[in-house]
Amino acid sequence: MNPLKDDDPLSRRVFLVGTAAGAAAVGVSATALAQEDDEENGDDEDENGDDEDEENGDEEDDGDGDENGGGGTEHIEIGDNYYEPESVTVEPGTTVVWEWVGDIDHNINPTSQPDDADWEGHPDLISDGEYEFTFDVEGEYAYTCDPHPGMDGTVVVDPDGGGAAEGPAEVVPDAAWTLVIATVAGMVSTLSLVYFFMRYGGESQ
C-alpha cells in the first residue's frame, strides 16, 4: 500500500487546506508588517516635522547665531610631544580649544591652510594654558610644534563633519522581527501537520 498515491482524495484535500493556511499566514504577516511600517514612518515624519519646526524657530529667534552653522566646541590636548586627538573634523563656525596638559613647552604653528583663511596659530612656546580659534573657512588646516618634529595635527572644516553616526540604523524593528519569527514558526508547524496527515491520515483502514 502506498500512502502517498496520487489518487488519494483525502491527502489532496489536506494538502490544499495546509497550503491555503500557510498562504493566509504569510498574507496576514505581510499586512501587519506593512501597517506597522506605515505607522512608524508616520511617527518619524511627525517627529522630524516637529524637530525641524523647533530648530527653524530657534534659528529665526536667535539673531546672533552663526549663519554658517556649527557653533560648537572641540577640545584638543597638548601633552608631552603629542596632540590628542591628532586630527579633528568640525563644521564651519566651530571653536577649537587647545589645552596644554604636559610639562614641556609646545606651540601651534600652521603649516598649511585654505587660501581664504587667516589662522595664525599660537607661535609662542608655553607649557600651561589654553588657546582657541573659531574655524569658518572650509578646508584642511595642518599644524606642527616647531621644537618637536613629528608632532603634527590637523583640523578639517567640513559642513558634513562634526556629527558621526552613533550606531547602525535599526532596519527592522524588534516587533517586526518577532512577528516574522512567529509567522515562520506557524508555517513550519502547518506544513508539518500537512505532511503528517498526507502520510498517515489518508490511509485506508
Per-residue pLDDT of the chain in tens (205 residues, 90 and over written 9) = 454 444 455 455 655 555 665 555 555 555 555 565 555 555 555 555 555 544 454 444 443 444 445 679 999 999 999 999 999 999 999 999 999 999 999 999 999 999 999 999 999 999 999 999 999 999 999 999 999 999 999 999 999 876 544 444 445 567 677 877 878 887 877 777 777 766 666 554 4
- List, in sequence order, every residue forming a beta bridge with 70; answer none if it has no partner: none
Model pLDDT, residue 44: 52
146 and 180 in a single domain? The answer is: no
pLDDT of residue 119: 97
Residues 81 and 142 in one domain: yes
In a domain, 46, yes or no: yes
Question: What integer pLDDT is reported at residue 20 of this predicted model?
Answer: 60
Task: Please report the beta strands in 80-197, taking only residues with DSSP state E, as ranges in sequence order.
Answer: 82-84, 87-90, 94-100, 106-112, 122-126, 129-135, 139-144, 152-157
Q: Do 38 and 95 fall into the same domain?
A: no
| 106-112, strands of its sheet edge to edge | 87-90, 152-157, 139-144, 106-112, 122-126
Under a CB-based contact definition with an 8 Å cutoff, are residues 122 and 83 in contact? no
The answer as to whether 164 is a domain residue is no
On whether both 153 and 176 belong to a single domain, the answer is no
Q: What CATH code is carried by the domain that includes residue 125?
A: 2.60.40.420
- For the chain, how many structural domains are there in total? 2
Task: Classify residue 86 by its DSSP letter.
Answer: S
Relative to beta strand 94-100, strand 73-79 is: parallel
- Kindly report the three-state secondary structure assignment for every residue of 111-125: EECCCCCCCCCEEEE
pLDDT of residue 71: 78
Closest of 45, 9, 28, 3 to residue 182, by C-alpha = 28
Q: Are residues 115 and 144 in the same domain?
A: yes
Whole-structure pTM over 0.75, yes or no?
no
User: In this structure, are 78 and 38 located in the same domain?
Assistant: no
Please indicate, yes or no, if residue 24 is contained in any of the structural domains.
yes
* Sheet containing strand 94-100, strands side by side: 82-84, 73-79, 94-100, 129-135
Do residues 82 and 147 share a domain?
Answer: yes
- CA-wise closest residue to 135 among 98, 97, 93, 163: 93
Residues 78 and 120 in one domain: yes
What is the distance between the alpha carbons of residues 79 and 126, in angstroms, rounded to a whole number?
11
What does the angle CA 129 – CA 133 – CA 139 come to, to the nearest 5 degrees?
135
Question: Which domain covers residue 140, as residue numbers?
Answer: 73-157
| Residue 189, C-alpha cell as written in the block | 508547524
